[in-house]
Amino acid sequence: MIPTRRQIQAIPGPAWAALLALAFTAAGCGRVPRVHGPLEHDAYVWQRDWSTNVIESVAVHGPAFRRLVILGAEVSWRDGQPRVVRVPFRFPEPGGTTNRLLAAPGIALRIGPFPGPFLPGDASTRWLAGTVRSLLEEARRLGFTPSELQLDFDCAESRLEGYRVWVEALRREAAPVPLFITALPSWLKRSSFAGLARSADGFILQVHSIARPRNAGDPFQLCDPEAALRAVESAARVGVPFRVALPTYGYLVAFGANGEFLGASAEGPPPQRPAQSTLHELSADPAAMSRLVMTWTGDRPSAMRGLIWYRLPVAGDRFNWRWPTLGTVMTGHAPRSRLEARARESMPGLFDIELQNSGDADRSGPVGIRAHWTRSSLVGRDGIRGFATQSGGLGDVLFTNAICRLRAGDTAGIGWIRLDSSVALTLEVLSPPALRD
């Protein structure tokens, strides 16, 4: 029997991995060939604007991955006619002076919903083949041959057999560059999926999704670890090499006054909402993802060839992990936040209070900072960024915030204290239980 989510959360990391391996073996999953050992890690670069921050992240963090897969173009259909938006990527030449450690990237072609028909040699198939050809030619003009081509198609489950027509045609067009397709766990239940998967060089199993919650009371998450484990075991039975895509991102969800779903947004503008609505932030859980890494490092189907993270951390992303978080999760360890408070005396007796997250995970939740001193009198105090202040007695001020969000590596001012003389100020970060006291 596979453990429930509540049971998993109560089990220490190594024991959790061993228990899941035993559970799958007992369920008959041990019949597929198994391997263990370090996983290969890839990452997506899904930005449409290759800003300075994107280029810098590729150069600095790209070598940590086996390869990067960059968004090359997006296709949509209007009245049966294709429209394409090309991404002007600027990936540095492998082995060039920019960064000799970078491997040649893969290129992803995103294709929006298409109802069919899927016919060999028809206008739609020929047009997509031409788009693939131009993407590969553009890469070669930039000085590299892509390591792979990925098709990320919003295909209806009932159309998988037709999709196979496209895959076979585009694989011939891309050769000798290998072609991979992205797939959803629900596709694994379709009899037509095995043939579709075999028509490509492999597939990427996306075990994350933005599911639309019905109301604010519904539990929702980007990636259910239990479901991801089951999907990987099912995928292994297809007999085709695959990678698993895991999330690093998050987004805002808006709910109305009665709890009804209003909309969601990520890096773009926040969703439109009435005055009485509320916002919830939903993010990939680093601890849960690290447990998946640890589990698959210890035991996985041999057909599972690694992980691909969506997406590469880039400075300025509001709802994506910072690099310290992803770097730690990739090792199979759970990242942790670490709050440190400090005071800067800008002039005699005037202290600016700052809070820093020096850990490798974002911090969100209640926090308090107690400032203490002796041999001086309080002249004034105030909090900023949502922090309130209260006096805890002679020579003592407490700064509190019920919902303090501080990302890994960030520092934020939280307020100030004015004393009548320059003295030593002692700061203490309080845990939530201490705040309740």
- Looking up tokens 């993270």 gives 309
Quote the CA–CA distance of 230 and 242 in Å, as a whole number: 15
Give 7's Cβ-side CA count (13 Å radius): 10
**Residue 393 neighbours by CB under 8 Å, 6+ apart:** none
Quote the CA–CA distance of 177 and 165 in Å, as a whole number: 18
Quote the CA–CA distance of 208 and 180 in Å, as a whole number: 18
Give 204's Cβ-side CA count (13 Å radius): 26
Q: Which amino acid, residue 268? A: G
pTM value?
0.86
3-state DSSP assignment of residue 150: strand
20-23 CB contacts, 8 Å cutoff, 24+ apart: 20/229, 20/295, 20/299, 21/295, 21/298, 21/299
Quote the CA–CA distance of 352 and 400 in Å, as a whole number: 15
3-state DSSP assignment of residue 307: strand
Instruction: Give CA angle at 184 (178, 186), nearest 5°.
Output: 140
Going residue by residue through the chain (437 aa), what tens digit of pLDDT does each one get?
333 334 434 445 445 544 454 445 444 444 899 999 999 999 999 999 999 999 999 999 999 999 999 999 999 999 889 999 999 988 776 555 445 668 899 999 999 999 999 999 999 999 999 999 999 999 999 989 999 999 999 999 999 999 999 999 999 999 999 999 999 999 999 999 999 999 999 999 999 986 667 666 676 788 999 999 999 999 999 999 999 999 999 887 778 777 777 777 666 666 566 777 777 778 899 999 999 999 999 999 999 999 999 999 999 888 899 999 999 999 999 999 999 999 999 999 999 999 999 999 999 889 999 999 999 999 999 999 999 999 877 899 999 998 898 999 999 999 999 999 999 999 999 976 555 44
Quote the CA–CA distance of 316 and 157 in Å, as a whole number: 36
**Tokens, residue 147:** 């390591």
Looking at 211-315, list the stretches that DSSP marks H as alpha helix, in order from N- to C-terminal side. Answer: 225-236, 286-298
**Tokens, residue 116:** 């069919």
**Tokens, residue 261:** 């779903």
Which pLDDT score is estimated for 272?
63
- Alpha-carbon torsion, ordered 235, 237, 239, 241, to 10 deg: 30
List 350's β-bridge partners, or say none: 347, 418
Which pLDDT score is estimated for 164?
98
Q: What domains appear along the chain, each with residue ranges and CATH number?
A: 5-249+284-329 (3.20.20.80), 339-436 (2.60.40.710)
Quote the CA–CA distance of 350 and 22 in Å, as a whole number: 60
Quote the CA–CA distance of 350 and 420 in Å, as a whole number: 9
**Residue 258 neighbours by CB under 8 Å, 6+ apart:** 215
**Contact (CB, 8 A) for 185 and 207:** yes
